[in-house]
Amino acid sequence: MKHKKQIVIALIAFVLFLPLSNMLGLTSKNESIAFSQGTSPSFKAASNILQNKCVDCHSPGMTRFPFYAKLPIAEQLMEKDIKTASARLEISKSMYSGETKFTPLMLARLEGVLRNDSMPPNLYLSMHWTGQLDQKEKAAMLAWIAEEREQLAWSHDTAPTLKGEPIQPLPLTVSLNQNKVLLGKRLFFDRRLSGDQTMNCASCHDLTKGGTDQARVATGIRGQQGPINSPSVFNAAYNLAQFWDGRAKDLAEQAAGPVANPGEMGANWSHVLEALKLDDSYPKDFSALYPDQGITLLTVTQAIATYEESLITGGSKFDEYLRGNNHILTPEERNGYYLFKMDCASCHFGPTLGGMSYEKLGTSQDYFAKRGSTLTDVDNGRFNVTHNEADRHVFKVPNLRNVEVTQPYFHDGSAATLEEAVRTMATVQVGKELSQSEVSDIVAFLKTLTGKYHGVPLQSLKEENL
User: In the range 381-400, which residues lie near ligand HEC by CB under 6 A?
Assistant: 395, 397-398, 400
Which residues in the 328-347 window bind ligand HEC by CB under 6 A?
343-344, 346-347
Q: Which of 226, 315, 351, 451 binds ligand HEC (CB under 6 A)?
A: 226
* C-beta separation of 201 from 210 below 8 A: no
In a 13 Å sphere around the CA of 308, the CA atoms on its Cβ side amount to 28
| Least CB distance to ligand HEC at residue 324 (A) | 25
Measured distance CA(59)–CA(119) in Å, rounded: 15
In the chain the first and final C-alpha atoms are separated, in Å, by 50
Nearest to ligand HEC of 226, 315 (CB atom)? 226
The candidate with the shortest Cα–Cα distance to 168, out of 355, 440, 383, 385, is 355
For 188, 313, 352, 417, 458, the CA distances from 208, given in Å and listed in that order, are 14, 13, 19, 18, 7
For 114, 169, 311, 314, 332, the CA distances from 173, given in Å and listed in that order, are 34, 12, 10, 8, 30
Site string for ligand HEC, 268-287 (x = CB under 6 A): --------------------
The yes or no reply on residue 206 touching ligand HEC (CB under 6 A) is no
Buried b (16+ CB within 10 A) or exposed e, 78-115: beebbeebbeebebbeebbbbeeebebbbbbbbbbbbb
The yes or no reply on residue 303 touching ligand HEC (CB under 6 A) is no
Which residues in the 136-175 window bind ligand HEC by CB under 6 A?
none
| Least CB distance to ligand HEC at residue 17 (A) | 6
The number of residues in the chain equals: 466
| Least CB distance to ligand HEC at residue 435 (A) | 12
Measured distance CA(233)–CA(220) in Å, rounded: 17
* C-beta separation of 301 from 248 below 8 A: no
CA gyration radius for the chain? 25
| Least CB distance to ligand HEC at residue 339 (A) | 7
Site string for ligand HEC, 38-67 (x = CB under 6 A): ---------------xx-xxx---------
| Least CB distance to ligand HEC at residue 424 (A) | 8
Q: Which of 230, 299, 306, 310 binds ligand HEC (CB under 6 A)?
A: 230
Which residues in the 80-139 window bind ligand HEC by CB under 6 A?
81, 84-85, 88-89, 109-110, 112-113, 119-121, 124, 133
Nearest to ligand HEC of 37, 129 (CB atom)? 129
Buried b (16+ CB within 10 A) or exposed e, 271-291: ebbebbeeeeebeebbeebbe
* C-beta separation of 137 from 49 below 8 A: yes
The yes or no reply on residue 430 touching ligand HEC (CB under 6 A) is yes
Which residues in the 357-386 window bind ligand HEC by CB under 6 A?
359, 361, 363
Q: Which of 95, 183, 265, 289 binds ligand HEC (CB under 6 A)?
A: 265
Q: Which of 352, 410, 441, 461 binds ligand HEC (CB under 6 A)?
A: 410
Judged by CB under 6 A, the stretch of 95-103, 284-292, 314-322, 355-363 that binds ligand HEC is 355-363
| Least CB distance to ligand HEC at residue 84 (A) | 5
